[in-house]
Chains A and B, each alone.
Chain A
Amino acid sequence: MTELLSIFQYFGSISWQMVVMWIIGGVLIYLAIAKQMEPTLLLPMGFGTILVNLPLDGAASEEGPITILFNAGIANELFPLLLFIGIGAMIDFEPLLTNPKLLLFGAAAQFGIFITLVLASVCGFDIRDAASISIIGAADGPTSIFVANELGSQYVGAITVAAYSYMALVPVIQPPVIKLVTTRKERLIRMEYTGKPVKKLTKILFPIVVTVVAGLFAPQSVALVGFLMFGNLIRACGVLDSLSETAQKVLANLITILLGISVAFQMKAEYFINVNTIIIIGLGLFAFIFDTVGGVMFAKLINLFSKKKINPMIGAAGISAFPMSSRVVHKLGLEEDPSNFLLMHTVGANVSGQIASVIAGGLILSFFA
């Protein structure tokens, strides 16, 4: 009888915090499957959350598999960088190269990062933690993980969950914010697309030049920008189709699986269940909102001095959530005027946001170098 009862011995180790984390893990899995919100990351993270919050730390003990994966790929920032190769290979920068001015909207749409940095400091976070939290506004998971780890933040788990969740919620967050800061007349502004062809040489030189420029001005961004641009170079060169396809599909998927489950190491109850997590999630939402506001306001500022008016919604597409944000803004434009096709402009702004977000991450790191 005693031996029979001994199989229940570990039940006594279950705490209420573990149960809460199981529920959180379950919610992430539900959002991934039922609502299809960033399933590639939220599902592994959700499952990993349950895994690391079981009694006696089986998977996340000192030599547990999740700990090994975390040390192998998250603690040394390797996984986010490898994922960036895949992301770079997926992006076509041609709309940006046709109209390089769109890069300014990408820059403006990082406003949320810096204003959140101040707000997080006001909330009482240490400056490094505030900077790690603010990078949620980059709307880019690998950048958020990279910067938060590099700064030694203890909130990597909460930051990652917030970043990926809000990226998936862009279609919910952005439209009301855009409508709040624009008038109907502004949303009806038409923009013609003159698609000038871009030479292959330009597409090849672009990633090299961007890496060099970003590296000279923000050396800490070289890893992020370099890997992103390396992926893009593989795509643009035209002689490495198999590598490009591998990077876009196999590499990206493989690293996403490992990243999702190993980030869960930071989802242990003792790190996650506290008031700070709720504050971080709130600050993440603030960052996204002000990214949108920053991009739109910048476009409106340009309109004050420009004869050829820009639809200010394009600015909102400068957020790095690619390609979701570009589709959201394009859809808003069609809702106002079914014949107003903004897609190429929004895609250009959206890819520029990808570059601007990694530069912003590098600048944040350079402040602590």
Chain B
Amino acid sequence: MKRIKRFSALLSLVLVLTVTLLPVFSVAAAAAPAHDEHYDVNGDGYCDIEGCTAFECPEHKDVDGDGLCDVTNCNACTAHKDEDGNGVCDVDSCKTCTSHKDADADGVCDSDGCTEEVILTNTIGTPKWTANIIEALKMMGLGLLGIFIVTGIIILVIYALNRVTNTERKNNNN
């Protein structure tokens, strides 16, 4: 009876922790940058530039210069884009492939102009650099908290498993 009570108490604790912590993680997830939080208020098929935060998706581009960032670029840009179809990748997308140059000085980086030079994109002292550090500090806090919470729950689950399997063995012996 005592063992059943202890096990019930343990299981209740696990359930309570899960129910309590799920909203915390939902809030954290909601607060975390999401690339699909783009808005198209005027319904013209392009996400509105104001809805695209500069930090979460810094590769927003406005190739056609209409004041709205192009919807295809609202996701994390890890590849070069050629929005205007002129055969060269757009210079803003060179962020993740920094070895491109703009040899013909036309404002877009040349896909043929790849050199070995790699440029650090966040020059020390710029607002982007500061924003990155703040974001990194947030991730550090959330990451350390998250890893301890997840491992804590796994520990409780292991204790519960050990209890259950030991209880079964004792019942079988009886």
Contacts and interface: CB of A to CB of B under 8 A. Distances in A.
A110 interface: yes
A130 B115 CA distance: 22
A355 interface: yes
B158 to A, nearest CB: 4
B157 A213 contact: yes
B137 A118 contact: yes
A198 B159 CA distance: 11
Nearest to B138: A367
Given A104-B151, A359-B150, A276 B136 contact: no
A198 B162 contact: yes
A187 interface: no
Contact of A154 (B96, B151, B166): B96
Given A111-B144, A276-B118, A367-B143, 16 more contacts: A104-B148, A117-B140, A125-B122, A126-B96, A127-B132, A130-B132, A154-B118, A209-B154, A213-B150, A217-B146, A270-B115, A273-B116, A355-B151, A366-B32, A368-B33, A369-B32
A334 B133 CA distance: 42
A251 interface: no
Interface centre among B146, B152, B166 (most CB of A within 10 A): B146
26 contacts: A97-B162, A100-B162, A103-B151, A111-B144, A117-B136, A117-B139, A124-B120, A124-B122, A124-B123, A124-B129, A126-B122, A128-B96, A154-B118, A205-B161, A205-B165, A206-B161, A209-B154, A209-B157, A210-B157, A273-B116, A274-B117, A355-B154, A356-B147, A359-B151, A363-B142, A363-B143
Interface of A: 17, 96-97, 100-101, 103-104, 106-107, 110-111, 113-115, 117-118, 120-128, 130-131, 152, 154, 198-199, 201-202, 205-206, 209-210, 213-214, 217-218, 269-270, 273-274, 276, 352, 355-356, 359-360, 363-364, 366-369
Contacts of A198: 162
A199 B136 contact: no
B165 A201 contact: yes
B5 interface: no
B158 A206 contact: yes
Contact of A152 (B78, B147, B166): B78
A124 B120 CA distance: 6
A360 B153 contact: no
A172 to B, nearest CB: 27
B161 A209 contact: yes
Given A113-B143, A117-B140, A217 B150 contact: yes
B154 A274 contact: no
Nearest to B25: A217
A104 B158 CA distance: 13
A224 to B, nearest CB: 13
Contacts of B98: 154
A110 B147 contact: yes
Interface of B: 25, 29, 32-34, 76, 78, 95-99, 114-118, 120-124, 129, 132-133, 135-137, 139-140, 142-144, 146-155, 157-159, 161-162, 165-166, 168-169
A114 B165 CA distance: 37
B155 A364 contact: no
A-B complex: 7 closest residue pairs judged by Cβ atoms: A152-B78, A199-B165, A121-B136, A114-B140, A100-B158, A124-B120, A270-B116
A53 B137 CA distance: 38
A121 B121 CA distance: 11
A359 B148 CA distance: 10
Contacts of A113: 143
B129 to A, nearest CB: 6
**Most chain-B Cβ atoms within 10 A of its Cβ — which of A110, A114, A125, A198?**
A114
A103 B133 CA distance: 29
Contact of B151 (A97, A115, A125, A356): A356
A117 B154 CA distance: 25
A124 B150 contact: no
Nearest to B163: A202
Nearest to B58: A126
Nearest to A96: B158
